[in-house]
């Protein structure tokens, strides 16, 4: 990460992560209540949330109206540099802006996204990933005081449909940064280890046997559903506010 920031000519502050292995089980449990998605907490997921909270506290105590947070397994594209030199590009009323692509398909480096205009969208599914975002000092101050949470940090920040999500979260598409785990030529030295600790409760999915008529109707409706989805994407793109990346000095 130091090499990446040095290459972009940007100064940064490293916030040491909270190592969940250094916390007693009781200390971990006091921060995490039952997750509403039914999954069990992995200790590193709790440590990850607490690490982000450390960053929010630093921003809340700092002099700037916005701060940027980057995890240590993300690749920074050059376009991120001018966005960190000014906050003039941030839409009025935005509390947090996600700069990271949640998937390789939504990344600006993907073939279909080359030369595609960056736009602001309301953050929604897939909300996974909190590796690169800009957050207002106001929001950082408010959420830095949270001591008990019921979902992982990326869902807390970017799932706009989550109960209790009472702030305006946006994301830039195509995404400007990308976690290395999404890239086929990823750098193993930056590989995230949180997945090794993630515990998921598998729930059996009941199989529904549909009649021949229902299956035939579903096949007939398939092209109409695809057309509807394409039109919805076109409409959302038309409504989305373009991002004009500031000129680099």
What's the CA gap between 160 and 125, in Å, rounded? 9
Q: What is the pLDDT of residues 62-98, one digit of tens each?
A: 999 999 999 998 999 999 999 999 999 999 999 999 9
Sort 88 into a burial class: Cβ within 10 Å, 0-12 / 13-18 / 19+.
Answer: exposed
Dihedrals φ, ψ of 161, to 5°? Answer: -95, 0
In a domain, 247, yes or no: no
Average pLDDT over residues 99-104: 92
Closest C-alpha among 184, 181, 183, 124 to residue 154: 124
Number of domains composing the chain: 1
Q: Which residues contact 108 (CB under 8 A, 6 or more apart)?
A: 77, 79, 101, 114, 116, 118, 174, 175, 176
What's the CA gap between 144 and 25, in Å, rounded? 22
In a domain, 134, yes or no: yes
In a domain, 227, yes or no: no
HSE, CB side, 13 Å, CA atoms: give it for residue 171: 27
Q: Which residues contact 118 (CB under 8 A, 6 or more apart)?
A: 108, 172, 173, 174, 176, 242, 243, 245
> Which pLDDT value is given to residue 155?
93
- Please give the mean pLDDT across all residues of the chain: 85
CATH of the domain at 138: 3.90.550
What residues make up the domain containing 91? 2-205
In this structure, how many other beta carbons lie within 10 angstroms of the beta carbon of residue 167? 17
Average pLDDT over residues 111-139: 92
Closest C-alpha among 158, 140, 144, 170 to residue 68: 140
DSSP 135-152: EEHHHHHHHTT---BSS-
What's the CA gap between 214 and 18, in Å, rounded? 52
- 42 pLDDT band, cuts 50/70/90, is confident
In a domain, 53, yes or no: yes
The gap from C-alpha 137 to its chain's centroid, in whole angstroms, comes to: 18
In a domain, 29, yes or no: yes
Pairing of strands 74-76, 177-179: antiparallel
> Which pLDDT value is given to residue 40?
83
In this structure, how many other beta carbons lie within 10 angstroms of the beta carbon of residue 170? 25
In a domain, 131, yes or no: yes
What pTM, to 2 d.p., does this model score?
A: 0.82
In a domain, 96, yes or no: yes
In a domain, 81, yes or no: yes
The answer to whether the CB of 85 falls within 8 A of the CB of 246 is yes
Q: Integer distance in angstroms from the first to the last C-alpha of the chain?
A: 22
Torsion (CA) 170, 175, 178, 182 in degrees, nearest 10: 110
- 201 pLDDT band, cuts 50/70/90, is very low
């Amino acid at each position: 990460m130091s090499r990446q920031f040095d290459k972009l000519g940007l100064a940064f502050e490293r916030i040491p992560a909270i190592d969940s292995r250094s916390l007693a089980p009781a200390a971990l449990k006091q921060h995490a209540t039952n997750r509403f998605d039914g999954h069990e907490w992995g200790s590193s997921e709790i440590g990850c949330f607490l690490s982000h909270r450390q960053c929010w506290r630093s921003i809340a105590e700092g002099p700037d109206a916005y701060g940027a947070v980057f995890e240590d397994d993300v690749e920074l594209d050059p376009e991120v540099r001018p966005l960190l030199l000014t906050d003039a590009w941030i839409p009025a009323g935005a509390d947090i802006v996600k700069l990271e692509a949640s998937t390789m398909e939504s990344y600006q480096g993907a073939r279909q996204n080359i030369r595609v205009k960056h736009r602001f969208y309301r953050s929604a599914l897939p909300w996974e990933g909190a590796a690169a975002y800009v957050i207002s000092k106001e929001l950082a101050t408010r959420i830095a005081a949270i001591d008990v949470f019921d979902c992982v940090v990326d869902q807390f920040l970017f799932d706009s449909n989550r109960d209790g999500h009472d702030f305006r979260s946006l994301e830039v598409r195509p995404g400007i940064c990308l976690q290395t785990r999404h890239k086929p030529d990823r750098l193993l030295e930056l590989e995230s280890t949180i997945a090794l600790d993630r515990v998921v409760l598998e729930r059996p999915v009941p199989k529904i046997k549909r009649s021949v008529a229902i299956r035939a109707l579903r096949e007939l409706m398939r092209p109409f559903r695809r057309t509807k989805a394409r039109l919805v994407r076109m409409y959302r793109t038309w409504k989305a506010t373009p991002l004009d990346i500031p000129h680099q000095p």
